[in-house]
Chains A and B, each alone.
Chain A
Amino acid sequence: MMGKATRDAYGEALKELGAVYPELVVLDADLSASTKTQDFAKVYPERFFDCGIAEGNMMSTAAGLAAAGKIPFASTFAIFGAGRAYEQIRNSICYPNLNVKVALTHAGLTVGEDGATHQMLEDIALMRVLPNMTVIVPADAAETKAAVKWAAGYKGPVYIRMGRAKCDDITDPDAPFVPGKAAVLRKGYDITLIGCGIMTAKALAAADILKGAGITARVINMSSIKPIDEEAIIKAASDTGAIVTAEEHSVRGGLGSAVAEVVVKNCPVPMAMIGVEDRFGESGKADDLLKAYGLTAAHIAETALQLYKRK
């Protein structure tokens, strides 16, 4: 069922958390209407600070706020946060292990019409190589809310990747977020489909297609990319003998790579990775782009079928 965008859930969660944590502050870089931090700003104007179009300063400022005991959530589009301000996140936040939440929206192709300069496809890779950083890619609105709530109570740097487009509601709305814990959304023994973000819903749809071909696919929602649920991956590899990953991100360095690192070290099985091949995005409607780049249930199912045949 089509639900809200993850960014909408982010704004709602912040608003709720403002009442729980008096030390919670929110920073944005002139995109508060889009990132939804505006929802917080309307209720807690004295704890919202627009930093203007200066993302590097915003990240290091957040570090200073954290060093003085605040819980800063710093938001902008994923490209300008994880991209432009990468080194500030590394040196000002992760190295000193400061309590900053880097909550970025508009990740991936589904930014749509704005095109390649605004479509961040490398952020999971960039964020997960940083020591001390936790990396979360929620699959829907409910999981976003749970992840944001968890992040506010956790002491240390957290990256939360969110999107612009509305997405299907697929997770248990009452489940708390647990870092390093994946959720098996569907049981299956012939092959495993592991997704994150909007691609988890597509993996579920792909499992339906595969069912028609007599293949039972296990579907795992890997929203916690770092730490990653090694146990779930190893079990999937040994139970099903083949794994397909699906992410709205480059196939290099993201979820697929993170899963492959666990697989090759523990339980080598054939894998396929669905994502954006070594290229940039482009303008278009979100759904049209997902089709053009092969980020669809049909493509996942077809890839899984080919992999299943050679396992």
Chain B
Amino acid sequence: MEKLTAEEVRYIREKARQLRIDILKMITKANSGHTGGSLSIADVMALLYFHEMHVDPAQPAMPDRDRLVLSKGHGAPCLYAALAEKGYFPKEWLDHLRQEGAVLQGHPDMKHTPGVDMTTGSLGQGFSAACGMALAGKIDGASWRVYAILGDGELEEGQIWEAAMFAHHYKLDHLTALVDNNGLQIDGKITDVMSPVPIDEKFAAFGWHVIHADGHDVEALHEALEEARTVSGQPTVIIMKTIKGKGVPEVEGQVGWHGKAPTEEQCEHFLKEVEEAE
């Protein structure tokens, strides 16, 4: 199992920092968007787009590309930040997030935005679509992989478990689910609202290979993704322990920041914190 070099770790962490900066800027500019759940997936998104996935921004529809489905579609700002940083489209587009006539819709839209592999937003559905893509790859004997990023609150959707059953039944071993386990949803703590815990035992019972990883440690996440590549005959889920709003102390772990945009003053301060963080 190949480990990341120190240089790679530094590079991916810098990308994650850039994604956080762009997330904060675009949500502030739009005065609308999901701050907490976008920040919590910045590290895994940086790792996927800047190390892990076989993709080419010049050919967004390349048939043998790896696919990413952001099943928790409200994390769209993070996906857009990654796609822009990768070069799928100009960064100026981020300034028009959620505005009338904009390419960047409130939730990911494959018909509007280059690089978005699946339209999502209605929770639970993206995970099934990721299963469909993985099945298509399996039918063709293709080697490309499918990554699905799920929210932990999203696990309350029954469709998630229909898909979990399906992926195991059809042995979709090139499908990797990544659960953003930040513990919060709109109405409060997931364990207070409608507990999906224990998440690991549930997936294991559905026949998945389960890995735990710190969702903000790119080396740990890389090891988990490498392990997932070696698993055969069953899909893998990586349960990423994350902090909602990660990177901005005032936002971290605050349920109120689920769908709230920073003011311009707040944004300025938050950006400084992100830029100065280690």
Binding site for B on A (CB under 8 A): 25, 46-47, 49, 51-52, 54, 56-57, 59-70, 72, 87-88, 91-92, 95-97
> A95 to B119, Cβ gap below 8 A?
yes
A61 and B131 form a contact (CB under 8 A): yes
The answer to whether A49 touches B119 (Cβ under 8 A) is no
Would you call B166 and A64 a contact (CB within 8 A)?
no
Query: B110: which of A56, A59, A67, A88 is its contact (CB, 8 Å)?
Result: A67
User: Which residue on chain A has the smallest CB distance to residue B110?
Assistant: A96
Assuming the contacts A61-B132, A97-B111, asked whether A70 and B166 have C-beta atoms less than 8 A apart, the reply is: no
Residues of chain A within 8 A (CB-CB) of B117 are 67
**Do A52 and B165 form a contact, CB below 8 Å, given A64-B128, A64-B129, A92-B125?**
yes
Q: Which residues of B contact A (CB under 8 A)?
A: 63, 67, 69, 109-111, 117-119, 121-122, 124-137, 139, 158-159, 162-163, 165-166, 169-170
Partner of B63, one of A47, A56, A69: A69
The answer to whether B136 touches A69 (Cβ under 8 A) is: yes
Name the distance in Å between B178's Cβ and chain A's nearest Cβ: 17
Asked whether, in the complex, the Cβ of B139 is within 8 Å of the Cβ of A46, the reply is yes
Asked whether A60 lies within 8 Å of B132 as measured between CB atoms, the reply is yes
Cβ-defined partner of A57 (8 Å) among B111, B119, B136, B162: B162
Q: Contact: A60 with B128, CB < 8 Å?
A: yes
A25 to B138 alpha-carbon distance, docked (Å) = 13
Of B118, B126, B136, B163, most buried by chain A (CB within 10 Å of CB) is B136
- Are the CB atoms of A49 and B170 closer together than 8 Å? yes
B6 to chain A, nearest CB (A): 37
Q: Is the CB of B129 within 8 A of A92?
A: yes
The answer to whether B133 touches A64, judged by C-beta atoms less than 8 angstroms apart, is yes
**Contact A54 B166, beta carbon cutoff 8 Å:** yes
Which of B121, B162, B169, B170 has most chain A Cβ within 10 Å?
Answer: B162
Contact of A64 among B109, B132, B159, B162 (CB under 8 A): B132
Chain B, residue nearest A92 (CB): B125
- Measured between alpha carbons, how far is A59 from B129 in the docked complex, in Å? 8
Q: Which residue of chain A lies nearest to B132 when distances are taken between CB atoms in the complex?
A: A64
Residues of A within 8 A of B121 (CB): 91
Residue of B nearest to A66 (CB): B132
A237 to B266, CA, bound (A): 64
A residues less than 8 Å from B124 (CB atoms): 56, 60
Please report the C-alpha to C-alpha distance between residue A140 and residue B111 in the assembled complex, in whole angstroms: 36
Question: Does A91 lie within 8 Å of B122, measured CB to CB?
Answer: yes
